[in-house]
Structure 1
Amino acid sequence: MKRFTKLIQQLETSNKTNDKIAALMAYFSTADDRDKPYVIAMFTGKRIKRPVNTNLLKQWAIERSGVPEWLFAESYHSVGDLSETIALILPPPEKTTDKKLHEWIQALQELTGAPDDVKKAFILDSWNSLDIEQRFIFNKLIAGNFRIGVSNKMLVNALAKQSGTESNSIMHSIMGKWKPDEITYEALIEGLHVNTDSSWPYPFCLAYALDGEPENLGAPAEWQAEWKWDGIRGQIVKRNGELFIWSRGEELVTEQFPELHFLNEVLPDGTVLDGEILSVKDGRVQAFSILQQRLNRKTINKKQLQDAPIGFYTYDLLEYQGQDLRGETLYTRRKQLEEVLFPLPESIVTASPIVTFDSWDELAEIRPNARENNSEGLMLKKLDSPYHAGRKRGDWWKWKINPYTVDTVMIYAQKGNGRRANFFTDYTFAVRDGENLITVAKAYSGLTDKEIKEVDSFVKKNAIEKFGPVRTVKPELVFEIAFEGIAESKRHKAGLALRFPRIARWRKDKVAAEINTLDDLRQLLNATLEIK
Structure 2
Amino acid sequence: MQAFAALLDALLYTRSRNAKLRLIGDYLRATPDPDRGWALAALTGGLDLKAVQPKLIRTLIEDRVDPVLFRMSHDYVGDLAETVALLWPDPLTPETRPAPTLGEVVDRLRALSRVDAPKVVVELLDRLEPPGRYALLKLATGALRIGISARLAKTAFAQGFGVEVDAVEEVWHGLSPPYPELFEWVAGGAQPTAGDVATFRPFMLAHPLDELKLDLAEYAAEWKWDGIRIQLVHVAGQTRLFSRAGDDITGSFPDVAAAFSYPAVLDGELLVRGDVQGGEAASFNALQQRLGRKTPTGKAMADYPAFVRIYDVLFDGAEDLRAQPWTTRRARLEALMPRLDPARFDLSAVINAADFPALEAIRDGARDAAIEGLMLKRRNSPYVAGRRTGLWYKWKRDPLVADCVMMYAQRGHGKRSSFYSDYTFGCWTDDGQLSPVGKAYSGFTDAELAMLDKFVRANTVARFGPVREVAKTMVLEVAFDSIHRSTRHKSGVAMRFPRIARIRTDKPAAEADTVAALIKLIA
Contact 2:51 2:142 (C-alpha < 8 Å) held by counterparts: no
Match of residue 127, structure 1, among 125, 128, 141: 125
* C-alpha distance in structure 2 between counterparts of 1:373 and 1:472, whole Å: 33
| Paired letter, 2:46 | K
Contact 1:242 1:264 (C-alpha < 8 Å) held by counterparts: no
| Paired letter, 1:84 | E
Say whether 1:275 aligns with 2:275.
no
| Paired letter, 1:488 | R
Contact 2:146 2:414 (C-alpha < 8 Å) held by counterparts: no
- 1:472 is matched with 469
* C-alpha distance in structure 1 between counterparts of 2:141 and 2:258, whole Å: 39
Question: Could you say what secondary structure the match of 1:402 adopts?
Answer: coil
Q: Which runs of 5+ in 2 are unaligned?
A: none
Change (3 A) 1:54 1:431: same
- 1:52 is matched with 52
Q: Deviations over 1:447-473 (max 9, x none)?
A: 111111112222222221222222222
Q: Deviations over 1:27-64 (max 9, x none)?
A: 11110121122112111112332222221122112212
* C-alpha distance in structure 2 between counterparts of 1:187 and 1:199, whole Å: 23
* C-alpha distance in structure 2 between counterparts of 1:373 and 1:200, whole Å: 32
Contact 2:369 2:482 (C-alpha < 8 Å) held by counterparts: no
Contact 2:174 2:194 (C-alpha < 8 Å) held by counterparts: no
Say whether 1:251 aligns with 2:244.
no
Q: CA deviation at 1:446?
A: 1.3
Task: After TM superposition, list the pairs within 5 Å mapping 1:11-410 onto structure 2.
Answer: 11-64=11-64, 66-68=65-67, 70-92=68-90, 94-95=94-95, 97-111=98-112, 113=113, 115=115, 118-174=116-172, 176-181=173-178, 183-187=180-184, 194-196=193-195, 198-211=197-210, 213-214=211-212, 216-217=213-214, 219-261=215-257, 263-265=259-261, 267=262, 269=263, 271-280=264-273, 281=276, 282-372=278-368, 374-410=370-406
- 1:429 is matched with 425
* C-alpha distance in structure 2 between counterparts of 1:191 and 1:251, whole Å: 26
* C-alpha distance in structure 2 between counterparts of 1:155 and 1:85, whole Å: 27
Q: CA deviation at 1:263?
A: 4.2
* C-alpha distance in structure 1 between counterparts of 2:399 and 2:481, whole Å: 5
Report the structure, 1 or 2, having the larger helix content. 1
Question: Could you say what secondary structure the match of 2:350 adopts?
Answer: coil
The share of aligned pairs that are identical, in percent, is: 37
Change (3 A) 1:356 1:20: same
| Paired letter, 1:429 | F
Change (3 A) 1:72 1:514: same
| Paired letter, 1:453 | A
Change (3 A) 1:170 1:177: closer
Change (3 A) 1:120 1:256: closer
Contact 2:12 2:414 (C-alpha < 8 Å) held by counterparts: no
- 1:493 is matched with 490
- 1:449 is matched with 446
Q: Deviations over 1:128-164 (max 9, x none)?
A: 2211111111111211222122223322222222222
Question: Could you say what secondary structure the match of 1:284 adopts?
Answer: coil
Say whether 1:460 aligns with 2:452.
no
Q: Quick check: 226-235 or 344-353, which moved more?
A: 344-353
Q: CA deviation at 1:185?
A: 4.0
Q: Deviations over 1:295-333 (max 9, x none)?
A: 233444454344322221111111122122212211211
* C-alpha distance in structure 2 between counterparts of 1:416 and 1:262, whole Å: 41
Provide the aligned C-alpha RMSD in A. Answer: 2.1
Change (3 A) 1:467 1:256: closer
* C-alpha distance in structure 1 between counterparts of 2:410 and 2:302, whole Å: 40
Contact 2:13 2:415 (C-alpha < 8 Å) held by counterparts: no
Q: CA deviation at 1:345?
A: 4.1
Q: CA deviation at 1:261?
A: 3.9
Question: Could you say what secondary structure the match of 1:445 adopts?
Answer: coil
Q: Quick check: 250-259 or 396-405, which moved more?
A: 250-259
Give the TM-score, by structure 1 length. 0.91
Q: CA deviation at 1:293?
A: 2.2
Q: CA deviation at 1:347?
A: 4.4
Q: Quick check: 151-160 or 161-170, which moved more?
A: 151-160
| Paired letter, 1:130 | L
Contact 2:271 2:308 (C-alpha < 8 Å) held by counterparts: yes
Contact 1:33 1:185 (C-alpha < 8 Å) held by counterparts: no
Contact 1:241 1:264 (C-alpha < 8 Å) held by counterparts: no
Q: Deviations over 1:394-431 (max 9, x none)?
A: 21111000122111111212222221122211111111
Give the TM-score, by structure 2 length. 0.93
* C-alpha distance in structure 2 between counterparts of 1:131 and 1:300, whole Å: 43
Change (3 A) 1:27 1:251: same
